[in-house]
Every structure is written in structure tokens, then in C-alpha cells.
């Protein structure tokens, strides 16, 4: 941010066109000071380059004047800093990485790829909210604890691959991992967004029990069931026949997901395609808004010397040349 502390000094720039007009008028009228009885001896002599270069000397002096005027106006460069006085929301996204997420019923790719893309877009829209990531299948792991470093979080999200975790769907364990990351949070609002396409079939913790704990901790859970209705096509890589596709019945435990969300005061959503999943995350982002009080400080550094030093150098050069190579006989 650049500003002028004393902008009224810029009015002095009006002297430049006035002095230029006066100089041009004098040049056109001629300023010969010596008289010769005859100029025949001077015929055929070409004018020296200094005759033309002296105009550049005047231009340099006007540039020096302009720079000096700008320096008088005191240019200042400001550096902004923010002090956040209230905390935002702490959010942990739990992403299902089980084998069924390979189903290709979400254009243009499978459920898992589309879910990652939508979650990344959601993270990019955050500003003062801490966000974290838990990935789960048969087991649940924290990929990134709640942080304001969205770049690190996006890198962690991008690095998740299907098949890295033993297959299964441990929704209860995933919620427990999220709660563990949020239980000591001092944020005004604490939220878990659970994205899954299956039924809890692994893990030691029941999803409803995890929801009851979340309610006790004041943590709200939003559940998102991803998957089209009916059947979905899943790729199967066979070592002999290569990649083939099988149709799998879409099996989402919507009643359990609704109950989990209801216990904590959250909502359950069903996403049957990419646009609906994007709308769901937009809705959650609108629902979970906290007023952030931010104080902005601007520290200004004087930059007049950036203009004054070149002005002084130009003035010195013009003075030296005016009294040496470009000196005139009165």
C-alpha cells in the first residue's frame, strides 16, 4: 500500500509545464548574444551535437524537479498486519476411503475423487477457521490436525489414496478421532463433517455412542451420505482379465446418519452427484459462520528518499554539464 503524507505539494508539479513553455519560447525566439560582421566563414559548418543535446539537459532538470516535488509529498509504503480478537470455527472433515468409494456414479470420476475435490474447494473458502482432516476405512487416522495452514491441509488431502487403509467402514472410530482433535478446542463453534457412502461395519466404537460424546463436548456433527440411488458401477482389477466393472447396490445407512446428526444438533445430507455435494458444503459453510473481530494495523515507512536521491543526482549532473560541456557564452 502506497500513500502520500503531504499530497498538496504535488501542486508544485504545475511549475514544470510553465517552465517548459518558457524554455520553448526562448528557443524559438533565439538567444544569440554575439554579433559578427560577416558569417560567410561559418557557412558549411554543421552544428555540434551539443546544440541538440542541450534540450535533453533541460528535460533532465525538469525530471529532477518532478522527483523533488514527489519527495516533498512524502511517499509512504504501508505494511498491513491483522490481529484476530475472536476465534473462528474449528472444523474436522472425516473422509471415507473404503473400497466402495471407487464407485463411478459421480461424474467425471469416482466418489472419492469428487469428494476430495469438493472438500478442497470448501477449505479454500475458509479464512479464519481452523480445519483438520481424518481419513478412515477399517481404521481411522488423523491426516492433519486442525490448523490455519490451509496449504498444508490441502497437501494432506491431495495425498490420500484409496487402498492405503484396510477395507471397511469404521464410522464410530472416525468420529472418535475427530472428537479427540476437537475436545480441547476453545473455539466458539466446533464441527465435524462426516462424508461416507456405507454402513458402519468395523471398529470398536458405535457411531451413536460417539455422537452422544460429541453432544457432551458441544461438538456438532454434519453427516453427508454420498452415492446415487439404486446400483453403482465399481471397477475391479483382475490380474488375468484386466479391469472389469460390477454393479453394486448402493447401501447407505441413512437412519443412523440422521440420528448421529440429530443428537448433536447437526443435519444429515444426501449427495447423489457432484453438484448436490457442492451445494451441501456450501450450505454447511453458510450455517457455520462466526463473527470474526479483526483489528487491522498499517505501519508506514518513509520512501521519499527513493525520489529525492535520484533528483539530487540529476541536479548535480545537470549543474556540472551546464558549467562545462554545455556552458553558453552570455
Give the pLDDT of residue 210: 96
C-alpha cell at 40: 560567410
Q: What's the pLDDT score for residue 141? A: 95
pTM for this model (two decimals): 0.65
In this structure, are 67 and 123 located in the same domain? no
At 125-149, the pLDDT tens digits run 988 888 999 999 999 999 999 998 9
Tens-place pLDDT, residues 222-270: 999 998 878 888 888 777 777 788 888 878 889 999 999 999 999 999 9
The phi, psi pair for 83, rounded to 5°, reads -120, 115
Evaluate whether residue 22 is within a structural domain: yes
- 236 and 175 assigned to the same domain: yes
Sign of CA dihedral 39, 42, 46, 47: negative
**Same structural domain, 102 and 245:** yes
Residues 223 and 130 in one domain: yes
Task: Output the pLDDT for position 305.
Answer: 85
- Angle between the N-to-C axes of helices 274-287 and 111-124, in degrees from 0 to 180, rounded to the nearest 10: 30
Query: Residue 236's closest CA among 228, 225, 246, 226?
Result: 246
d(CA 1, CA 79): 7
Residue 169 lies in a domain: yes
Encode pLDDT of 207-222 as tens digits.
999 999 999 999 999 9
117 Cβ contact partners less than 8 Å away, ≥ 6 residues apart: none
Instruction: Establish if 156 belongs to a structural domain.
Output: yes
Q: Which pairing describes strands 189-196 and 219-226: parallel, antiparallel, or unpaired?
A: parallel
Same domain, 162 and 283: yes
Decide if 4 contacts 74 (C-beta within 8 A).
Answer: yes
Block residue for cell numbers 500513500: 3
* Residue corresponding to grid cell 462466526: 290
204 assigned to some structural domain: yes
**Is there a domain that residue 327 lies in?**
no
241 with 93, same domain?
Answer: yes
Alpha carbons 142 and 157: distance in angstroms, whole number: 11
DSSP lists the bridge partners of residue 147 as: 131
Q: Indicate whether 292 belongs to any domain.
A: no
Number of domains in the chain: 2
Q: Provide the 3-class DSSP secondary structure of residue 150.
A: helix
How, if at all, do strands 219-226 and 130-136 pair?
Answer: unpaired
Q: Which helix (H) or strand (E) holds 311?
A: helix 305-322
Q: Which residues contact 72 (CB under 8 A, 6 or more apart)?
A: 6, 9, 12, 304
In a domain, residue 328? The reply is no
d(CA 182, CA 186): 9
pLDDT score for 318: 81
pLDDT of residue 91: 95
Q: What is the pLDDT of residue 2?
A: 75
User: How would you write the pLDDT of the chain (330 residues) with one tens digit per residue?
Assistant: 678 888 888 888 888 888 888 888 887 776 555 555 555 555 555 555 556 667 777 888 889 889 999 988 888 887 766 665 555 789 999 999 999 899 988 877 899 999 999 999 999 998 888 899 999 999 999 999 999 899 999 999 999 999 899 999 999 999 999 999 999 888 888 999 999 998 999 999 999 999 999 999 999 999 999 988 788 888 887 777 777 888 888 788 899 999 999 999 999 999 998 999 999 999 998 887 665 555 666 777 888 888 888 889 988 888 887 777 666 655
Q: Is 294 exposed, middle or buried (0-12, 13-18, 19+ CB in 10 A)?
A: exposed
The pLDDT value recorded for residue 87 is 59
What residues make up the domain containing 255? 86-287
Measure the CA dihedral 38/41/44/48, to 10°.
Answer: -90
Same domain, 139 and 46: no
Phi-psi sector, 90: left (phi>0), alpha (psi -120 to 50), beta: beta
Retrieve residue 89's grid coordinates: 470455527
DSSP code per residue over 213-232: HHHHHTEEEEEEEE--SSEE
CATH code: domain of residue 244: 3.40.50.410
Structure confidence at residue 222 (pLDDT): 97
Beta-ladder partners of 257: none
For residues 217 and 72, state if they share a domain: no
Closest of 136, 153, 155 to residue 145, by C-alpha: 153
Torsion of CA 126, 132, 137, 141, to 10 degrees: 160
Amino acid at each position: 500500500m502506497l500513500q502520500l503524507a503531504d499530497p498538496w505539494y504535488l501542486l508544485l508539479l504545475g511549475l514544470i509545464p510553465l517552465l517548459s513553455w518558457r524554455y520553448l519560447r526562448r528557443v524559438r525566439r533565439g538567444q544569440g548574444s554575439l554579433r559578427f560582421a560577416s558569417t560567410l566563414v561559418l557557412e558549411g559548418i554543421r552544428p555540434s551535437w551539443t546544440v541538440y543535446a542541450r534540450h535533453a539537459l533541460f528535460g533532465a532538470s525538469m525530471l529532477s524537479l518532478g522527483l523533488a516535488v514527489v519527495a516533498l509529498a512524502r511517499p509512504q509504503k504501508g505494511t498491513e498486519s491483522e490481529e484476530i480478537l475472536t476465534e473462528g470455527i474449528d472444523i474436522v472433515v472425516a473422509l471415507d476411503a473404503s473400497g466402495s468409494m471407487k464407485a463411478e456414479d459421480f461424474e467425471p470420476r469416482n466418489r472419492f475423487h469428487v469428494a476430495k475435490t469438493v472438500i478442497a474447494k470448501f477449505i479454500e473458502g475458509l479464512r479464519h477457521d481452523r480445519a483438520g482432516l481424518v481419513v478412515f476405512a477399517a481404521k481411522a487416522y488423523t491426516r492433519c490436525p486442525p490448523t490455519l495452514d490451509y496449504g498444508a491441509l490441502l497437501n494432506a488431502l491431495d495425498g490420500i489414496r484409496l487402498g492405503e487403509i484396510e477395507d471397511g467402514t469404521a464410522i464410530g472410530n472416525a468420529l472418535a478421532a475427530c472428537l479427540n482433535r476437537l475436545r480441547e478446542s476453545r473455539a466458539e463453534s466446533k464441527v465435524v463433517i462426516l462424508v461416507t457412502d456405507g454402513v458402519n461395519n468395523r471398529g470398536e466404537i458405535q457411531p451413536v455412542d460417539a455422537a452422544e460424546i460429541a453432544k457432551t463436548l458441544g461438538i456438532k456433527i454434519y453427516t453427508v451420505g454420498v452415492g446415487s440411488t439404486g446400483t453403482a458401477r465399481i471397477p475391479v482389477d483382475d490380474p488375468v482379465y484386466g479391469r472389469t466393472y460390477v454393479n453394486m447396490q448402493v447401501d447407505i445407512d441413512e437412519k443412523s446418519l440422521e440420528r448421529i446428526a440429530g443428537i448433536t444438533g447437526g443435519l444429515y445430507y444426501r449427495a447423489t452427484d457432484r453438484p448436490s455435494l457442492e451445494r451441501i458444503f456450501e450450505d454447511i459453510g453458510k450455517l457455520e459462520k462466526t463473527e470474526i473481530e479483526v483489528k487491522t494495523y498499517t505501519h508506514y515507512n518513509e520512501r521519499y528518499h527513493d525520489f529525492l536521491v535520484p533528483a539530487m543526482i540529476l541536479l548535480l549532473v545537470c549543474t556540472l554539464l551546464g558549467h562545462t560541456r554545455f556552458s553558453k557564452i552570455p
